[in-house]
Structure 1
Amino acid sequence: MEWLERITRLRRWTRGGERDPHKALLLLYAIGQLQRTGFKPIRFREAEPALELLFAEFGPPKPVGPAQPFHHLATDGLWEVAAAGGRPSPGPDRDLMTAGDVHGRLMPEFVKEMLADPVLLSQIVRILLDTNFEPGLHLDLCSAAGLLPEVAQTATVARYLEGHLPRAERDPTIRQKILVAYDCRCAFCGYEGWIGNSVIGLEVARLRWWAFDGQDDLTNCLCLCSLHHRLFDKGVLGIVPSGKILVSRHFVGTTEASKRMVNELNGRTASPPQPGFARPDVRNIDWHTRQVFRGPARI
């Protein structure tokens, strides 16, 4: 269990609710490379473009270059870094790493145990996903990191990690509560849909992510359609305490459908829950704006 303990410590080092998933993203990328190409060094200069894309898509709005986690992950006992000829890493300076032909690799003992025990590999991937990202992003992230999607499907992690995963309790009835509070309508676009007696296409969207102590309650959740939920988790959409909807300037959508379903939301007021139900807490809205929304917003 030594490796699982080291993986969980990566999460415990984050402070103040700030997202810092860059080491986790590097590990997921390295495990994806291990699965697809075998155990061999990863050259920084070759991996940098792919890591930049991963960080941009799944990291927080504040940009961090790949050089820092590539160098600093070695302090966690999971990764080792060296320059050409076996020389030590020159440090986290991107230009020096490129000039020195720096390469990194997962620790050989770590790799040996993962390859010998597929369940361990799955547990490690699941921990990295559960402690850094919302569940709706997991499959997209596995694909972007080059991971085989089935590695994230193990259900044994929660039992081992009792006391280590985020302390927020999952509420199995939260979707029903949110549907009632928002009258079975998307708070952003008003969509509603049914098939028989089942509501379809409406989901619970958290402001503060579960991985960062986001609670499953009305003060932290919105009712959104599947499209707007995905865009909300990706930072394309946001919201301010007054209820005004934000659309990121970084979003590009040229078709009339994109303009109608996304761009035209900018500046609209989201539908509040029905009277008698709690509204989203300003602190949770602020967390999403700082840690997820990819500002600036459109004017």
Structure 2
Amino acid sequence: MTRDELMRSLAALRQAQIGSRRAPHKPLLVLWLLGRFSASGSTAVTYGEAEDPVSRLINDFGPAVTSVARARQRAAMPFVHLERDLWDLRDRDGVPIGPDVAERGGLLRDRGAHGRLRPEVEMLLADPGTLAAAARLLMEQHFTPALDVLIRDAVGLDLADADADADETEQAPRGRRRRRRRAGFAEEVLLAYGYACAFCGFDGALGRHPVGLEAAHVRWHSQDGPDEVNNGLALCSLHHTLFDLGVLGLLPDLRIQVSQLYVARSRAGRAVDDLHGQPVATGRPGRPAVEPEFVVWHGKQVFKRPGAQVGR
């Protein structure tokens, strides 16, 4: 396997069909394995070792589930179904386990299931630039920039040096063009909302320069969200992160939701709860509001417990 072939395989990871909802289970498992390799030089792992940390990653950075049992065993699906050109999965006797096995954590533990990225893949990942490129590809294809540091920290990836050395032109698999972010999107969104957070009104500036304000995609760029004002919100850094994590969401009438999973003890933390049911600030005259279809996408794909109601 060459580096280009590895990148093509990662870019082509098949996503499970869970209705119309995104399922970043495999990318998160691979990112966790990359962190494990970076720390120890090996991706060998039993299902028992992977179940809790990988399930937590999927719960934190994927769509919510209502079943507690499912939430605890979400690692089973990618552990079984990760593509076999990347992944070698066997039982305790060393017999290969096929992708047709039931996706049940108890069954995998009973069989002593253990997996490892194939030796040719690990050989390529021994190059820090390749490991960084693989991580970046998965992050850019399945997530949004506000989550980059959070996910890297969660999986134990510190790629600062490798990022600086990697050649960006080698990261995208041949035959696959990365969709560039449109220049001017951020400035247009901030201008549309008067350089103030649409959730809390924060409008801090250092002299003439706004600080702590960002242009958030409602439907993520990586998930085919357009770089247009009708898919954007001006948000302070805190509320941008909470919006992309699914702590904050929107109702169709553009009132703010706060996830029922969110908890806080301090007065500052409880200030987030005070946003629940408040209207999003309207843009300046002549600027388009957020399109309902993008609000619906965020509610289904990102917001934790999409059914939460005002006055909960």
TM-score when normalising by structure 1: 0.92
**1:95 is the counterpart of 2:106:** yes
User: Is structure 2 residue 68 aligned with structure 1 residue 58?
Assistant: no
Provide, for residues 18-53 of structure 1, a one-character-per-residue CA deviation record: whole Å limited to 9, x for no partner: 321110111111111111112252011012111111
Post-superposition Cα deviations, 1:244-272, rounded to whole Å, max 9, x if no partner, equal: 10000000111111112x00000011101
Q: Deviations over 1:70-103 (max 9, x none)?
A: 0110x34111100102023354221110111111
CA distance in structure 2 between the aligned counterparts of 1:183 and 1:210, rounded to whole angstroms: 23
Distance 2:276 2:21 in 1: 26
Q: What residue is the counterpart of 1:81 in the other structure?
A: 89
Asked if the contact 1:32/1:145 (under 8 Å) is kept, the reply is yes
The answer (yes or no) to whether the contact 2:199–2:235 under 8 Å persists in 1 is: yes
Q: Does 1:44 align with 2:47?
A: yes
Residue range with higher mean Cα deviation, 234-243 or 82-91 = 82-91
Amino acid at match of 2:295: I
Code of the aligned partner of 1:60: P
Of 150, 164, 168, the residue aligned with 2:176 is 164
The separation in 2 between residues aligned to 1:97 and 1:15, in whole angstroms, is 21
8 Å Cα contact 2:7/2:171 also seen in 1 = no
Structure 1 15/162 Cα, relative in aligned 2: closer, same or farther at 3 Å? farther
**Counterpart secondary structure, 2:249:** strand
Choose from 212, 222, 228 the match for 2:233: 222
Kept in 2: contact 1:7–1:128 (CA 8 A): yes
| Structure 1 contact 123–157 (Cα < 8 Å) conserved | no
Matched, 1:249 2:260: yes
2-structure distance, mates of 1:34, 1:173: 38
| Pair 1:273 & 2:283 matched | yes
TM-aligned CA deviation for residue 12 of structure 1: 7.7
Calculate the aligned-residue CA RMSD, in Å.
Answer: 2.2
**How far off its partner does 1:297 sit?**
2.5
How far apart, CA to CA, are the structure 2 residues paired with 1:8 and 1:282? 30
* 1:125 Cα deviation after fit: 0.9
Name the counterpart of 1:69.
78
Deviation at 1:242, TM superposition (A): 1.0
Q: Give the length in aligned residue pairs.
A: 295
Residue 179 of structure 1 pairs with residue 190 of structure 2: yes
Q: Determine if the alignment matches structure 1 residue 149 to structure 2 residue 170.
A: no
Relative to the length of structure 2, the TM-score reads 0.88
CA contact (8 A) 1:44 1:104 kept: yes
Q: Which stretches of structure 1, 4 residues or more, deviate above 6 A after TM superposition?
A: 11-17
Q: Judging changes above 3 Å, is the alpha-carbon distance between structure 1 residues 32 and 166 closer, same or farther for their aligned structure 2 residues?
A: same
Q: Which residue of 1 aligns with 2:214?
A: 203
2:150 paired residue number: 140
Q: 1:114-160 CA deviation, whole Å, 9 max, x = no partner? A: 21x32222111111110011011111101101112325564515773
Residue 222 of structure 1 aligns to a residue in which SS? strand
Task: Kindly state the Cα deviation for residue 172 of structure 1 after the two structures are TM-superposed.
Answer: 2.4
> What SS does the corresponding residue of 1:188 show, helix, strand or coil?
coil
Aligned equivalent of 1:130, options 127, 140, 152: 140
Say whether the 8 Å CA contact 2:137–2:171 is kept in structure 1.
Answer: no
Counterparts of 2:92 and 2:15, CA distance in 1: 33
Q: Match for residue 3 of structure 1?
A: 6
Q: Percent identity?
A: 34
- State the distance in 1 between where 2:260 and 2:109 align: 32
Q: Gaps (5+ residues) in structure 2?
A: 66-70
Are the aligned partners of 1:166 and 1:211 in contact in 2 as well (CA < 8 Å)? no
Q: Distance in 1 between matches of 2:124 and 2:290?
A: 44
Query: Unmatched 5+ residue regions in structure 1?
Result: none
